[in-house]
Structure 1
Amino acid sequence: MWARGDYTQVGERLLPMGAVLLDACERAVGGLTATRLVDAACGVGNVALQAAARGATVTGVDLTPELLALAADRADRAGHQIDWVTGDLADPATADRATSRGPADVVASCAGHAFVPDTAACTAAIAQMLRSGGLFAYTAWERWPDDPFGRPLAPYVSVCSPDLMPFAWADEQVAGARLTPFFDDVRVEHRRHDWEFASARGAADWVMHVSPLHVAVMEGLTPAERAALRGRFVDAFTEHVDGDGAVRWSTPYVLVTARRR
């Protein structure tokens, strides 16, 4: 799914969230210089590249080869030496390859690991990557009951459901239950991510043609359904238009840190 649309554009908009995540990692471990860090479900490498720029020794892991190719190209152009591993984050063999040079001090995931279907296996694999006392840090979206990204999709997918896989990782009780078998000192901080588009129609075009999750939904619709859905997106974004015609709103997410037992 994640090779659909243009995840490079999505990644650009998530750069601030990646910076928030790495700031938390730095505070928790006293800086990233000479730290072994795994960017789990790394996508186009946002966290991996930022971590390398902060002095970490980095490995990026993702299931989608097309995104890893984009990440590797970005790293080459930036002059960063990063190892890239293609594999399922829920597979112990992927965890072994990601830490072939030694266990990680930090595993970080920016709105990524939360989309892995097998949550128990994913948590175990992340724990497998970390040394004792190592840090697992992630961000995950909270549910989208009124968010313009999600509300228009409700007739086609239960994107607003709090039980939907990625959103469940933002629930403090769920996250605690999933992490407790391997981790201590679980801390949850509620944050918001800001979005801005030049116009409501431009925002609607972005979700229809750029966002992989939304593009995947579009592929299952008839032309008439797609046209109707675009209209609902325009209406939803129009509710957030400011005086200058731009669309601005923020989406809630959580920043979670935990220590490997």
Structure 2
Amino acid sequence: MNAPVDFTALKTRQQGAWASGDYAVIGTTLQIVGEQLAEACDLRCDERVLDVAAGNGNATLAAARRGCLVTSTDYVSSLLERGAERARAERLNVQFQVADVEALPFADGSFDAVLSTFGVMFAPDQRRAAAEMARVCRPGGRIGLANWTPDSLVGRMFKVLGRHLPPPAGVSPPSLWGVESHVADLFGDRAAGIQVTPRHFNFRYRSAAHFVEVFRDWYGPVHKAFAALPAEQAQTLERELIELLESLNRAGAASLVVPSEYLEIVITVR
């Protein structure tokens, strides 16, 4: 029999990974995803919106730009600071609060909409995270998600990482949040309806080597993976990532443009 997963210890390691590097360097390039999600959720002025696992605030800013009353949360305070810097620059009134999506410190039905762009999918206890998002969203409210699919660039990248640093036993892959049937199972009868739209985000870098350099320096899980591996294995990981990127590149030899599929999901809460 497999030992139960120690979610507390796992989450502590995750926090350390996401706090390393500086995700904001990557996150700001993904802003268009937050804007599209805000439109998909048809956000209205003065609606109460919660952004969970908000990172540096892409969905947060998108909702605030539409006049919503936004609370931005993440369990890594340094990422919230990046979001707060962006909000101040745009004169947006946003509340920032350190919070774990698996234990949200808000009353039932506190929000009209709950959003997450490439965030909640990394919560280790997926069922608890889904239950918490549904709990704090009012009946008839919307949960809006953007989740990488298993076959996306990011999904494949994590498979490459997993060959070198196997993920903890008993924990579901984050990319399952990019499978419609899995999301439907997670939310179950809490969902009155689920609308799913496949989309692509284009990663744009000078080259595959440039992509790996940026992610190695700034993207927490990749940064930690390279730091944990001996030099020879790190070189192998770099080569495998470059091979993956080059196999998906649609820009030719002069640049790198790699589409990465994600699901845009809008759940109406029962």
TM-score range, shorter chain: 0.7 to 0.9
Q: For structure 1, which runs of at least 5 residues remain unmatched after alignment?
A: none
- The match for 1:72 among 72, 81, 84 is 84
2:119 aligns with 112
- Does the CA-based 8 Å contact 2:70-2:94 persist in structure 1? yes
Amino acid paired to 2:132: A
Could you tell me how far 1:244 is from its partner in structure 2?
5.6
- Overall identity of the aligned pairs, in %: 23
Q: Does 1:199 align with 2:207?
A: yes
Q: Distance in 2 between matches of 1:38 and 1:215?
A: 29
Amino acid paired to 1:222: P
- Does the CA-based 8 Å contact 2:204-2:257 persist in structure 1? yes
- Does the CA-based 8 Å contact 2:245-2:258 persist in structure 1? no
| TM-score normalised by length of structure 1 | 0.87
- Does the CA-based 8 Å contact 2:153-2:259 persist in structure 1? no
Q: Secondary structure in 2 aligned to 1:124?
A: helix
Q: Does 1:84 align with 2:84?
A: no
**Which one is further off, 40-49 or 172-181?**
172-181
Amino acid paired to 1:14: L
Q: Distance in 2 between matches of 1:54 and 1:134?
A: 17
Q: Distance in 1 between matches of 2:92 and 2:153?
A: 40
Kindly report the root-mean-square deviation, in angstroms, between the aligned alpha carbons of the 2 structures: 2.2
Which runs of structure 2 are paired with 1:16-165 in the superposition (5 Å)?
16-26=32-42, 31-92=43-104, 94-96=105-107, 103-144=110-151, 149-150=157-158, 152-157=160-165, 164-165=172-173
More helix by share: 2
Q: For structure 2, which runs of at least 5 residues remain unmatched after alignment?
A: 1-16
Q: Distance in 1 between matches of 2:153 and 2:141?
A: 36
2:254 aligns with 245
Q: Distance in 1 between matches of 2:208 and 2:269?
A: 44
Q: Distance in 1 between matches of 2:159 and 2:114?
A: 32
Q: Does 1:213 align with 2:201?
A: no
Q: Distance in 2 between matches of 1:145 and 1:60?
A: 26
2:11 aligns with none
Q: Distance in 1 between matches of 2:128 and 2:160?
A: 32
**Which one is further off, 55-64 or 68-77?**
68-77
Q: Distance in 2 between matches of 1:194 and 1:149?
A: 15
2:10 aligns with none
